[in-house]
Amino acid sequence: MSQPPVTETPDEIFAREEEPVDGLHKEEAPPRARGSVLGWMRANLFSSIPNTLVTIACAALLAVAVPPLIQWALVEAVWSAADPAQCRAAEGACWALIEQKHRFILFGLYPFDQHWRPLLAVALFVVAVAVSCHPGFWRPWLAVLWVCTLGICALLMWGGVLGLTFVETERWGGLPLTLILAAVGIVCAFPISIVLALGRRSEMPAVHALSVGFIELIRGVPLISVLFMASVMVPLFLPEGVTVNKLLRALIGIVLFTAAYLAEAVRGGLQSIPRGQFEAADALGLSYWQKTVLIILPQALKIAIPPIVNQFISMFKDTSLVIIIGLFDLLTTAKTALTDPPWRPFYVESYLFAGLIYWAFSFFMSRYSLFLERRLEAGAKRA
């Protein structure tokens, strides 16, 4: 028999022997990761033959793809030009298109001289989101802050008071529209989805059937058709002469659709709560709602954070489907910017610009959900 390899340094062995001095032992530091960049590369990139092959393949791929990309996007790009002819003469990307059209892409048909209003609204919204991200600020005043923020945003967008000219929702577009659709969609769909998920698990047959029926109906059809139905059918149910504007109809469609999907994510969380939690709450005499709100939902929603955020992200991008009912969201404005014939060849740049904005928001949601998971995990360590 061969000797087992020595994996511990003398220092580590010494540290281990020193430890069990009852209650008085010194805090042992974890063993230091040894070595340098080279050591790290050996351990992570070239630890085995397959790993080495994958590393080499990836490096080759990067070597082929990255230099031309840099060449196109940066070195030979035209950053600024009033005349699209300059772009056509150049080999690289035509960022001049963004320079010329960014205001239309960002704000759509909103009156040009009033663009500061949607800009300010978006900025306020982003600040409010940023503030809400900090768990230290989860206090009652945050709700007040949100009511105020949304009120001011609505005021800015609509106007009609305080000397601001009135801008009807038909002219809203671009980023503010996308954010409104996503934010209102998330905020309204989330509570509905919780009610649906609870309903689906309810022992009351009517509640159960209604929830299952709704969820399965909505999940069985594409978002486009839900939007279309919301746009065509909602007016049919209303008394003559009452009109619901396009934006509201789109919102109703998005909220219903998102709620149905979110409900399934929430149900997954509810299902993973052990039966003992329900029984302990029952045995203590808590009512159904006390049990649900105080015991079950906090645990279930925490477990369901990844699928819930996944749904948020997917819904954020799906808002681009509102083009079907004639709303100018961010993706549509990026496309419409190209209807100006001389600029038409540069669609890649326009879509990249819009894509980058979508990506920034989605990436933020994804990272924040990771942060939240870890944070909540640290709060309540499970056995």
Partner 1 sequence: MSEGSRPETAPAITLEHVHKWYGSFHVLNDISLTVRRGERVVICGPSGSGKSTLIRCVNGLERHEKGRLIVNATELTPDVRSVERVRRDVGMVFQSFNLFPHLTVLENLVLAPVWVKKMPKAEAQRIALEYLGRVHIPEQANKYPGQLSGGQQQRVAIARALCMQPQIMLFDEPTSALDPEMIKEVLDVMVELAEGGMTMIVVTHEMGFARTVANTMVFMDGGTIVEMAPPETFFTAPSSERTRKFLSQILAH
Q: Tell the smallest beta-carbon distance from residue 201 to partner 1 (Å).
A: 18
Angle CA(104)–CA(187)–CA(205) in degrees, nearest 5? 135
- The binding site for partner 1 (CB under 8 A) comprises 274, 276-277, 279-287, 290, 294-295, 298-299, 302, 379-383
The contacts found for 84-88 with CB under 8 angstroms, 24 or more apart, are: 84/342, 84/343, 84/346, 85/342, 87/345, 87/346, 88/345
Run of H or E including 39? helix 37-44
Asked if 313 and 219 count as a contact pair (C-beta separation under 8 A), the reply is: no
Tokens of 56: 């080499």
Q: Tell the smallest beta-carbon distance from residue 297 to partner 1 (Å).
A: 10
Sign of CA dihedral 40, 44, 46, 47: positive
Q: Tell the smallest beta-carbon distance from residue 266 to partner 1 (Å).
A: 16
Find where tokens 């704000």 sit.
107
Q: Tell the smallest beta-carbon distance from residue 77 to partner 1 (Å).
A: 52
Between 96 and 300, CB nearer to partner 1: 300
> What is the Cα–Cα distance from 208 to 212, expressed in whole angstroms?
6
Q: Tell the smallest beta-carbon distance from residue 271 to partner 1 (Å).
A: 17
Between 70 and 294, CB nearer to partner 1: 294
Q: Considering only CA atoms, which of 160, 152, 100 is closest in space to residue 128? A: 152
Q: Tell the smallest beta-carbon distance from residue 290 to partner 1 (Å).
A: 5
Q: Considering only CA atoms, which of 233, 283, 236 is closest in space to residue 253? A: 233
Q: Tell the smallest beta-carbon distance from residue 207 to partner 1 (Å).
A: 16
Task: Provide the phi-psi class of 265: left if phi over 0, else alpha when psi is between -120 and 50, else beta.
Answer: alpha
* Upper half-sphere CA count for residue 175 (Cβ side, 13 Å): 25
Q: Helix (H) and strand (E) counts for the chain? A: 17, 2
Task: Provide the phi-psi class of 285: left if phi over 0, else alpha when psi is between -120 and 50, else beta.
Answer: left
Q: Tell the smallest beta-carbon distance from residue 203 to partner 1 (Å).
A: 12
Between 302 and 335, CB nearer to partner 1: 302
Between 202 and 277, CB nearer to partner 1: 277
Between 15 and 305, CB nearer to partner 1: 305
Between 26 and 382, CB nearer to partner 1: 382
Burial string for 78-107 (b: 16+ CB within 10 Å, else e) reads: beebeebeebeeeebbbbbbbebbbebbbb
Q: Tell the smallest beta-carbon distance from residue 291 to partner 1 (Å).
A: 10
Between 51 and 287, CB nearer to partner 1: 287
Between 34 and 275, CB nearer to partner 1: 275
Between 123 and 284, CB nearer to partner 1: 284
> What is the Cα–Cα distance from 182 to 312, expressed in whole angstroms?
8
> What is the Cα–Cα distance from 129 to 144, expressed in whole angstroms?
13
Q: Tell the smallest beta-carbon distance from residue 273 to partner 1 (Å).
A: 10
Burial string for 240-250 (b: 16+ CB within 10 Å, else e) reads: eeeeeebbebb
What is the radius of gyration, based on Cα positions, of the chain?
A: 28
Between 123 and 293, CB nearer to partner 1: 293
